[in-house]
Structure 1
């Protein structure tokens, strides 16, 4: 069962192969969602400072009754945090909000602030400042692993060439029809595990008839097919749902997509419509609602 399987990060830390994303789940609701996910069998929960639900996530973790070492928790520094002092304070703030003595994985959420995402600025100096704060927290045992999210090749090189510890994870948007193979291969070549957020394109692939036909061959749903696709590429998918039945379904992916069908899926053009998530920068500047500056998964 996939919920019992793990990847191993470059520093030897084990990380469950499937996680639960918590983007856009409100603080008041997220504790029960997390508890439900843990009851289903999830052991990997992904949150972020920008989601404004860390406190509720921590409540859900404690309510599960499981020991701390049975759970893997990821959070992320806000994208606008580009100084050592602020990053240091925010790391401690996440520990307090989550109610934990350590965090399993902490990421820099974006190489640029969301208002300037992919607009040409690199923020190399600021990213190094934030990264050094993560490195120090890692050395102090506050964090078991450190990494990044939404980082491209130049952003990664900046940390690899100038930091003391190489990133262990790069969490990126990846799904059928939008799989950045060059970035995935580059990240892996530098020793990183690649995580895939929005593996079902924020629901944008649910009505795709071509995917439905492939899924039918495996008696699977489109979300199951998309999650399995990521897993067979060696990615760690982070589907988000508040529905316990969907959590179970998303984890029922113990089938194997054939080489021929994987080739078809790899070659699928991006036809996903991201709906109300289109306003967020990571879903494509051309799709972004003019003036929107929201946070990302």
Structure 2
């Protein structure tokens, strides 16, 4: 099978729930601090705001790795091609470095419906064609379970370059990690601190606090570093300039990566979307 080209930067500036002036300002700050990878999605409704922040930062487009995603209500070949074109326009760019199918299911479609499989495979065909047209440089997926990946690989010569999923010490998806490694699909961690429902439990985890004390860094930095160690790339969101800088420091501040090992916790506590019920 053909593999989608290229590895991912280790840390992305995440933009979920950031909109308007806050999104533009945070994007500009992130670029000025040294971030060179940004993650958004059409469903976040902030692509135009991000484009404004990128322009204000003065960083050249070719120096920034931009990811966006196809929403559940955009599944299907024609809708996917139209959605990608719209994302390019909103982001004021002629190409995306990475484009993901955001979710294995389609909007307003019962979870058990076989239409979910048909539509996501049509969407993947659209991404394959977008690669050939130069509209995107890499194609991938998000929130796909092992069986969703198996179905895709059985129907396509193109291997997704990434599967972006919830991953943190309380949600260590070992089977999925093994499958992706075997098929050369890079896993990318989102919500490394958990969603709002899980942030405090993760930040107060005994192993996390031990690593934080040993390394002289914050608990948040331990969790982000854990995600980067586990799968190679993570998406971390903040609109606070100090936290943005702190998150970026995780690529440099750790001297002994083994001390950030919190893998003794093998629970699978999902704080975010759960795709396991999607046919």
What is the TM-score normalised by the length of structure 1? 0.83
In the alignment, structure 1 segments of 5+ residues that lack a partner are 1-9, 275-279, 286-297
1:193-243: CA deviations, max 9, x gaps? Answer: 110000111334223344212210110111111111112223311011001
Whole-Å separation in 1 of the counterparts to 2:213 and 2:275? 28
Shift of 1:33: 0.6
What does 1:1-297 align with in structure 2 at a 5 Å threshold? Answer: 10-113=3-106, 119-121=111-113, 123-202=116-195, 203-204=199-200, 205-253=202-250, 254=252, 255-257=254-256, 259=258, 262=261, 265-268=262-265, 270=267, 281-282=273-274
Distance 1:107 1:95 in 2: 13
Label 1:271 to 1:158 Cα distance change in 2 as closer, same or farther (>3 A): closer
List alignment gaps of at least 5 residues for structure 2.
none
Q: Residues 248 and 13 of structure 1: is their aligned pair in 2 closer, same or farther, counting only changes over 3 Å?
A: same
- CA–CA distance in 1 between the matches of 2:79 and 2:149? 21
Residue 244 to residue 69, structure 1, CA distance change in 2 (3 Å): same
Cα distance in structure 2, aligned partners of 1:69 and 1:220? 32
Separation in 2, partners of 1:12, 1:283: 26
Aligned-residue offset at 1:14: 4.7
What is the deviation of 1:185? 1.5
* TM-superposition CA deviations, 1:50-103 (whole Å, max 9, x none): 101011111111222122110000000002322111111001010011111101
SS in structure 1 at match of 2:154:
helix
Asked whether the 8 Å contact 1:228–1:257 carries over to 2, the reply is no
Scaled by the length of structure 2, the TM-score of the pair is 0.88
Between the two proteins, the alignment pairs up a number of residues equal to 268
Residues 236 and 121 of structure 1, relative CA distance in 2, 3 Å threshold: farther
Distance in 2 (alpha carbons) for counterparts of 1:180 and 1:273: 10
> In the TM superposition, what is the alpha-carbon distance from 1:261 to its structure 2 partner?
5.4
Check the 8 A contact 2:146/2:176 in 1, yes or no: yes
CA contact (8 A) 1:176 1:200 kept: no
